[in-house]
């Protein structure tokens, strides 16, 4: 089975590819010749995931899944949330996003946060949704060089390290995306 993961993000694609069973041929937007930046105009993670999956299904006629992920910080009323990738601007710079978040948390007592991933799957002319959440907190400073996005400042509950300090297999076993992906994979099998 060939399945499109609607992303241009190589880090995210590689992280997900390690989870997908070998009998599924996982391909990216680049692999199918889609170089468009699909606009994420939804106001929820679920809406954005559907927008991306629907774009591929409509324009390429392929089975597809897309995800949208947000980091939600309790003391910032859920910011950056649906705007996580472009929190510090449309250039989607991870360092700028983390710096802005750390700045906005100065003086806040609570650093509790959670990551949420929503996956929209279009297959056999039907739509399905899967989600995963991981609770944690925002560290005072960046730590680690693995992962991407907010990983260097997110410490999952029960761990003394950030996502960026964890081996990929450990991160995948506990992360929001890993949890949502396991639900997707269970469904596909």
The answer to the question of whether 68 is labelled as a binding residue is yes
φ, ψ of residue 42 in degrees (nearest 5):
-70, 160
* Residue 148 in marked binding region: yes
10 is in an annotated binding site: yes
CA dihedral 131, 136, 139, 144 (to 10 degrees): -60
Paired residues of 57 in beta bridges: none
Is position 171 annotated in a ligand binding site? yes
161: burial class by Cβ within 10 Å (0-12, 13-18, 19+)?
A: middle
Q: Which active-site residues does the annotation give? A: 68
9 a known binding residue? yes
Q: Is 36 annotated as a binding residue?
A: no
Judge whether 48 is annotated as a binding position.
no
Residue 151: phi and psi, rounded to 5, are: -50, -40
- The answer to whether 22 is a known ligand-binding residue is no
Is 18 known as a binding-site position? no
Known binding residue 7? Answer is yes
| 3 state DSSP class of 137 | strand
Cα–Cα distance list, 2 to 19, 27, 107, 148, 171 (Å): 15, 7, 49, 26, 26
Separation between Cα atoms, residue 31 and residue 139, nearest integer Å: 36
Q: What phi and psi values does residue 147 have, to the nearest 5 degrees?
A: 75, -160
d(CA 161, CA 107) in angstroms, rounded, equals 22
Could you tell me which residues are annotated as the binding site for Mg(2+)?
Answer: 68
Could you tell me which residues are annotated as the binding site?
Answer: 7-12, 68-69, 148-151, 171, 176-177
Could you tell me which residues are annotated as the binding site for substrate?
Answer: 7-12, 69, 148-151, 171, 176-177
């Amino acid at each position: 089975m060939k399945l499109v993961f609607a992303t241009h993000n190589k880090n995210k694609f590689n992280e997900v590819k390690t989870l997908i069973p070998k009998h599924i041929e996982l391909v990216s937007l680049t692999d199918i010749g889609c170089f468009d930046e699909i606009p994420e105009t939804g106001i929820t993670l679920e809406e954005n995931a559907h927008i991306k999956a629907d774009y591929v299904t409509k324009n390429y006629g392929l089975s597809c899944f897309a995800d949208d992920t947000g980091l939600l910080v309790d003391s910032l009323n859920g910011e950056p949330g649906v705007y996580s990738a472009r929190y510090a601007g449309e250039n989607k710079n991870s360092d700028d996003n983390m710096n802005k978040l750390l700045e906005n948390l100065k003086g806040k007592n609570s650093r509790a946060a959670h990551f949420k991933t929503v996956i929209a799957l279009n297959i056999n002319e039907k739509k399905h949704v899967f989600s995963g959440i991981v609770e944690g907190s925002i560290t005072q400073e960046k730590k680690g060089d693995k992962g991407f996005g907010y990983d260097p400042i997110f410490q999952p509950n029960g761990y003394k390290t950030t996502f960026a300090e964890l081996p990929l297999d450990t991160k995948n076993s506990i992360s929001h995306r890993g949890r949502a992906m396991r639900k997707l994979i269970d469904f596909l099998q």
